[in-house]
Amino acid sequence: MIDLYYRIRASRAGVRCGSLLIVLCSGLAVFGISRATHAQITTKALIEDSVSPDSIAKYTEIDEAIKRFSNRDVLAARQFLDAAKKKDAKLPPVDLLLAKLYFLAGNAQAGRISLEKTALETPGDPEAYLILADQAMQQGRTIEADALYDKALSLVAKFTGNDKRKRNFEIRARSGRAGVAQRRKDWESAIADLKALLQTDPENAAAHYRLGQCLFMQQQFRPGLDEFTAAKKADKNLPDPFVASALMFDQLKKSSETQQAFERAYAANKTDPATLTAYSQWLIKTGAVDKAEGMLAQARKDNPGNLNLLILSGVAARMTKKMKPAEDYFIEALGIAPANGDVINQLALLLIEQNDPSKRERALQFASMSAQLNSQNADAQITLAWVLYQLGRQGEAEQALRNGLQLGNLSPDSSYLVAKILHEQNRPDTAKQILTSALDNDSPGIFIYRKDAQALLDSIK
């Protein structure tokens, strides 16, 4: 169930690293801003892609527009935006700025209407198409995103209103279209767009990293390594180039090359937590849990309190049936990240496997907490279903199971738990389908129940 990964989110200036195994996202955010709240609506958020950073303070009309908008006086907000636009014609269209305000406030419908008006009244401005393309990409509407990025790119070529906006549009359109190509595994098209992007923005770490990935998928390993090296040079928070290479070799199912690349990264820096995390996870995933535990023991000494290393240590201990150490690692991790869904789920599943009634009661507490905190997460709901099922609370378990299945996108571990329940309910055919799919899954995460899933599938066959 644990799926540890680096979430590398690209932006115009570079990328930002997150947790464990590397899964590079396409780097798309709605006009460069995502999941903002009212408190985060600022003049900088609205116009930083249009003006120089040191001039933002002078746009007092934008400040006033935001205040009026926050007070639900949209008419007054528009008047101040109009005033700002009259003072500086290089600002984005008024309806586009208003659309951004709506999106930042969480009113997607009104934002969409303002974008439609922008496209109607200023048809040569590419940004409305880019915003819609980014949204379509985030929501899985790839065909729509592809057409919108193409449209935006055709407009960028003729756009003359603002050089800074034009440059940003070029980067966003190329990045988005490359993301479409990557999703479709059209590596040649993705490479072409990423190279064009780097012509415009040579220091874009995300583009270098993504280009490295695409080159690896084309079996161009040396150029791919060069791009990973360039990405690391542009952003020191990115993975070691040999770690990045190892992860790509693993994706290509080249076990020997994966091992060699990880060993080179490890030899170069035996205390780097990101390298140790990625290497240990790969070792656990491939069954070398004992070697991973030895590496993790030293890694914890070199990096005390590192959340990712603690989670992996707990997973490794759990897989080798070392219940007390596993619980200790997860409890320590929970102290660092009290709302971490992976940690809470792991604790619930660990505790429910034990005979102590107090631990099983705590398992239910953790599972219920996870399901509440992550109500749209399928794995959290399936964890709750499994715990309730183990406690004999069939009706509640069935409801949680339905909730999880409706959300979809189960991890292999959650799929196993579902199959286990179905098998015990005398539904072997459905259980068999779920197990087969889980065991064939190419997820980069660790499949803790892999051996159990295979044994159950064999027994059904």
pLDDT tens digits, one per residue of 1-26: 554 533 322 333 333 333 333 333 33
Please check whether residue 285 lies inside any domain of the structure.
yes
DSSP structural state of residue 9? E
At 242-287, the pLDDT tens digits run 999 999 999 999 999 999 999 999 999 999 999 999 999 999 999 9
Q: How many CA atoms lie within 13 A of 81 on its CB side?
A: 25
For 392-416, what is the mean pLDDT? 95
Q: What are phi and psi of 175, to 5 degrees?
A: -60, -45
Q: What is the pLDDT of residue 400?
A: 96
Q: What is the pLDDT of residue 32?
A: 36
How many Cβ atoms from other residues are within 10 Å of residue 395's Cβ? 8
Does 34 score more than 80 pLDDT? no
Pairing of strands 15-16, 6-10: antiparallel
For 57-85, what is the mean pLDDT? 96
CATH code at 273?
A: 1.25.40.10
Residues 46, 100 contacting (CB under 8 angstroms): yes
The mean pLDDT of the chain is 90
At 155-204, the pLDDT tens digits run 999 999 899 999 999 999 999 999 999 999 999 999 999 999 999 999 99
At 425-439, the pLDDT tens digits run 999 999 999 999 999
Does 399 score more than 70 pLDDT? yes
**How does residue 77 score in pLDDT terms, banded at 50, 70 and 90?**
very high
DSSP 223-244: HHHHHHHHHHHH-TTSPPHHHH
Please check whether residue 332 lies inside any domain of the structure.
yes
* CA-based nearest residue to 101, from 47, 181, 152: 47
Measured distance CA(323)–CA(71) in Å, rounded? 54
At 299-340, the pLDDT tens digits run 999 999 999 999 999 999 999 999 999 999 999 999 999 999
Measured distance CA(292)–CA(295) in Å, rounded? 5
Please check whether residue 321 lies inside any domain of the structure.
yes
**How does residue 377 score in pLDDT terms, banded at 50, 70 and 90?**
very high
3-class SS at 390? helix
Please check whether residue 437 lies inside any domain of the structure.
no
Residues 14, 230 contacting (CB under 8 angstroms): no
Please check whether residue 311 lies inside any domain of the structure.
yes
Q: What is the pLDDT of residue 227?
A: 98
Q: What is the pLDDT of residue 7?
A: 32
Does 212 score more than 50 pLDDT? yes
Q: What is the pLDDT of residue 181?
A: 98
User: Angle formed by the axes of helices 127-138 and 163-183, to 10°?
Assistant: 30
The tally of domains found in the chain comes to: 1
- H-assigned helices in 56-126: 60-70, 74-87, 94-104, 108-121
For 410-434, what is the mean pLDDT? 95
Q: What are phi and psi of 22, to 5 degrees?
A: -80, 120
Does 289 score more than 80 pLDDT? yes
- H-assigned helices in 124-186: 127-138, 142-156, 163-183
Please check whether residue 247 lies inside any domain of the structure.
no
Q: What is the pLDDT of residue 28?
A: 28
For residue 311, give its domain range.
269-338
Please check whether residue 309 lies inside any domain of the structure.
yes
Q: What is the pLDDT of residue 2?
A: 52
Please check whether residue 275 lies inside any domain of the structure.
yes
At 122-149, the pLDDT tens digits run 999 999 999 999 999 999 999 999 999 9
**How does residue 409 score in pLDDT terms, banded at 50, 70 and 90?**
confident
